[in-house]
Amino acid sequence: MERLPWIAVNGRYTKRFAFFIGRKCRTMTVKDVAKEQYMDWHSVKEMDKQYMTEQLKRIGKPAPRIIGVDEISVRKGHEYRIIVSDLERKRPIWYGGTDRSEKSMDMLYEWLGRKKADKIRLVVMDMWRAFEASAHKNVPNAAILYDKFHVLRHLQNALDTVRKQEYARLGGRDRKFIKGQKYTLLSRRENLTYDGQRNLAKLLKINKRLNVAYLLKESFGQLWDYDAEGWARKFFENWKKSLKWQRLKPYEDFCELIERHWDGLAAYCKSENKVSLGFVEGLNTKIRVIQRRAYGFRDEEYFRLKILTSTLEAI
């Protein structure tokens, strides 16, 4: 049997038809494509996998200089996989590991190889000790930068803890202003609807502790605006002084967290480390959309291909 270059892996159809199906699967579900083309959904899925494999083959193995590291939950029960992105080219380049341990993170650097791993100069991650330990071991010359959105998430958790404490402390009619306002407090004022802004103003007017906690949360993002570590440190010290006499224990714990990881935040002050920190967060949103559209993935290889090709152009 002669192999022809235009025949797909399965000899019953051509590569051109497989790629036609693959392009449709970029915006449609496998089930919808199968229904439209009068095909079995297993066949559609296999064609889509061939299409995505060819996309990755054409783009070649990456050699990143700035990487972003994050983890995603693939199933209930705290089962995680690690996603690594090239932040200069703005695309995911690796999906793997069996959890979010140091051993799983080491697999990335083994996959890249010593020569390509040595070219990495900056690793953006959350404050997870295993990721940091792996980076120090495998790319000791690379700088560590903590992702802004993960840091702010810790601050949002501190604000939500204050909200719960105030709800437990108060009684009677004052409670009604706090109940159901979790996301109103966690959102930025400009992102709220008119009713949300009105409820927020009423809540902050009534509760002094929540007012202080909210204003501190809103102002902390200024830390990433400085180009010199000295000025960033001065801002943080003044921000920390604002906590005095406020009885905001969750915020004090947050300050201790920042103190322990200061070097990873101060790294952003250097001009060569001014990278877009929103890509990793945006990719997480895109992955959740992929998961929802498929109602979860049983075939993990298919899920991996969907993630790695999510930002690539069609072929």
CATH (residue range 66-147+277-308): 3.30.420.10
Mapped onto helix, strand or coil, the DSSP state of residue 147 is: coil
Tell me which amino acid residue 263 is. Answer: D
Q: What is the pLDDT of residues 277-296, one digit of tens each?
A: 788 888 888 888 887 776 65
Alpha-carbon span 309 to 270, nearest angstrom: 32
Confidence at residue 118, expressed as pLDDT on a 0 to 100 scale: 93
What's the predicted TM-score (pTM) here? 0.84
Looking at the predicted structure, is the pLDDT value of residue 49 above 90?
yes
Do 314 and 23 meet the contact criterion of CB atoms below 8 Å apart? yes
Q: How far is CA 54 from the centre of its chain?
A: 26
Question: DSSP H helical segments within the chain, as ranges?
Answer: 15-24, 30-37, 41-59, 102-112, 114-117, 129-138, 148-169, 182-186, 194-206, 208-219, 229-241, 249-260, 262-266, 278-293, 300-308
Alpha-carbon span 188 to 164, nearest angstrom: 19
Q: What is the pLDDT of residues 101-117, one digit of tens each?
A: 999 999 999 999 999 99
Tell me which amino acid residue 175 is. Answer: R
Looking at the predicted structure, is the pLDDT value of residue 29 above 90?
no
Residue 245 token pair: 């006499």
Domain ranges of the chain: 15-59, 66-147+277-308, 149-271
Q: What is the pLDDT of residues 114-132, one digit of tens each?
A: 999 999 999 999 888 999 9
Distances (CA, A) of 19 to 23, 39, 46, 314: 6, 15, 11, 9
pLDDT averaged over every residue in the chain: 88
Question: 10 Å Cβ neighbour count for 266?
Answer: 20
Nearest to 56 by CA among 260, 304, 259, 252: 304
Q: Bigger pLDDT: 22 or 245? A: 22
Q: Bigger pLDDT: 281 or 92? A: 92
Q: What is the pLDDT of residues 185-236, one digit of tens each?
A: 888 888 888 888 888 888 888 888 889 999 999 999 999 999 999 999 999 9
Looking at the predicted structure, is the pLDDT value of residue 308 above 90?
yes
Cα angle: 112, vertex 115, 119; to 5 degrees? 85
| CA dihedral for 83, 86, 92, 94, sign (positive or negative) | negative
Mean pLDDT of the 16-30 span: 91
Q: Is 63 left (phi over 0), alpha (psi -120 to 50) or beta?
A: beta
Confidence at residue 38, expressed as pLDDT on a 0 to 100 scale: 92
Using 50, 70 and 90 to split pLDDT, how confident is the model at 73?
Answer: confident
Looking at the predicted structure, is the pLDDT value of residue 92 above 90?
yes
